[in-house]
Amino acid sequence: MSELLQLTNLTKKYGSFLANNNVSFKLKKGEVHALVGENGAGKTTLMRMLYGMEKPSSGNIQLHGKTISFSSPADAIKNGIGMVHQHFMVFPHFTVAENIVLGHEPKKGLFFNRRQAKADVQQLTQTYQISVDVHKKVKHCSIGEQQKIEILKVLYQGAEIIILDEPTAVLTPHEVKELLKTIRFLASQGKSIIIITHKLQEVMEVADRITVLRNGKVAGVTSKEDTNAHHLARLMVGRELKERPARIPSQGTSHLNVQNLFLKGKGQKNVLQNVSLHVSAGEIVGIAGVSGNGQSELLQTISGLVETGSGSIKLGDEDLTGRSVRERREAGIAHIPEDRYMWGASKDDTIEENALMGYQYKASYSKMGWLKRKIFKSSVEEWINEFSIKATSSKQKAGELSGGNLQKLIVARELGQNTSFLLAAEPTRGVDIGAMERIHDALIQKRNNGSAILLVSSELSEIISLSDRILVMYEGSIVGELTREEATEEKLSILMAGGTVEGDTVAETS
């Protein structure tokens, strides 16, 4: 494979803060090169400089042996560099084909040639073996299909280098397998792929080479053959990972009781269909399911964000049915939401203000409407240190944090309240392996201290690793329950697809 791209001593400063410090990186034609590191290590900043979204403070970029400088993403695209971001930029009311050609539409005279657009995109899907219905409205597409649209979009624009930023963060296990297969196929066709990810098993499966960043510097560059996930984790965090806290056997009584929940969707179909479950004190109950099968709505009804059609929700002896979000929080519910930007934070407010949100009325933080800022600031500083949140100060805007660091802030806020019950939705989404270790340890410690936890995660390995019991949701109903000892990825995947599990045998639906 010949060398295609070279970044030499790239440095990016924000005031006195060094996001990247003399980082060098090489990419070969037809190579899949993984860029890994902890949150705030400088991965995304490095790629933003390559993609023309940021100007390097120093250093240079060479493409095909020539020094280049991009003033915008449009410049990068003209030079064959495309980027698929974590948060997809699609128009839901347009078709798949219309989204892909947007900004580069084929014309017939002065008008958009819709027929040609569909034909061109159809040919593209066949060339790169990316299966998606070009006539479908994007609002009806799954998350995995939307990602395919973004990849096809950069291919349509002629990208030879494709940057994928945390591409598997919101995908189901099946969609992850499809994506990794697509990445390898694109590389076989001569495309060069840079993949930013925290998931080291996927790195070992798909990458040819790996560059590890730590604190803005290159901590190591290695081929896949010369490393393993354990070695990469050590390079990322700069130390050996700790052993997980031992589980204390739980004899707790039932703490959360949900009975016969129904929730209507937009049409005739129920989003939640007669859902009943319980979580005992000192227990983690995991909920597995393909995205869109009611897990999100279940957590929103328990937290009070959505009003149920019928059914009841009790915490201990207290009936919370019909209560407000604030009343439920006061009763002892903490909530790590699945979407940190929509439900979990306000990007325009400070870290300190975000750490207070939802708890500003507590007696320990306020008196007669006045905030006890000294007391609260001390708690925030403690959380920042405990979860290694990379920030210039507690006065920094939350929107200036990386996604992973904002996630850690939300987790720290909700765990910091020492509540009797926690709703944890995708608690480690977008965080690095060191932060994942810290969050997992904190969840188990909370469980060991007698709290009840309801966990929803798209990562089956996380569900299996943390849960004492696992419930599976399919089309708004709970279709299966497995103990920690019974659960395997195979059994869970079959239940998630609507199949059945009997003892050690599985049977798929036709």
What are the pLDDT digits (tens) for 145-179?
999 999 999 999 999 999 999 888 777 777 888 89
List of residues 6+ apart from 378 with CB closer than 8 A: none
Q: Which of 233, 88, 61, 237 is nearest to 170 (CA)?
A: 88
For residue 208, give the nearest of 197, 195, 223, 198 by alpha carbon.
Answer: 223
Helix, strand, or coil (residue 170): coil
Same domain? For 333 and 479 the reply is: yes
Closest to 484 in 3D by CA, of 449, 450, 451, 444: 444
Q: How many CA atoms lie within 13 A of 359 on its CB side?
A: 26
User: How far is residue 82 from each of residues 51, 150, 152, 192, measured CA to CA in Å?
Assistant: 7, 10, 10, 11
Residue 225 lies inside a defined structural domain of this protein: yes
Confirm whether 385 is domain-assigned: no
Cβ-Cβ contacts under 8 Å for 145 (sequence gap 6 or more)? 96, 132, 136
- Asked, for residue 86, whether it belongs to a domain, the answer is yes
Residue 354 lies in a domain: no
User: In this structure, what DSSP letter does residue 86 have?
Assistant: S
Question: 192 with 146, same domain?
Answer: yes
Output the pLDDT for position 302.
Answer: 95
Q: Are residues 228 and 332 in the same domain?
A: no
First to last CA, the chain: 44
Say how many C-beta atoms besides its own lie within 10 A of residue 227's C-beta. 20
**CATH assignment at residue 129:** 3.40.50.300
Provide block-wise average pLDDT over 10 residues at a time, the chain (510 residues).
Answer: 86 89 96 90 91 94 93 93 88 93 88 92 93 92 89 94 88 82 94 91 94 93 92 85 75 89 82 94 93 89 90 94 92 92 88 84 73 77 87 87 88 91 91 85 93 92 93 94 89 85 53
CA dist 48 and 323 (Å) reads 45
- φ/ψ region of 497 (left if φ > 0, alpha if ψ in -120 to 50, else beta) reads alpha
Count of the separate structural domains present in the chain: 2
Range of 183's domain?
3-237
pLDDT the model gives residue 2: 63
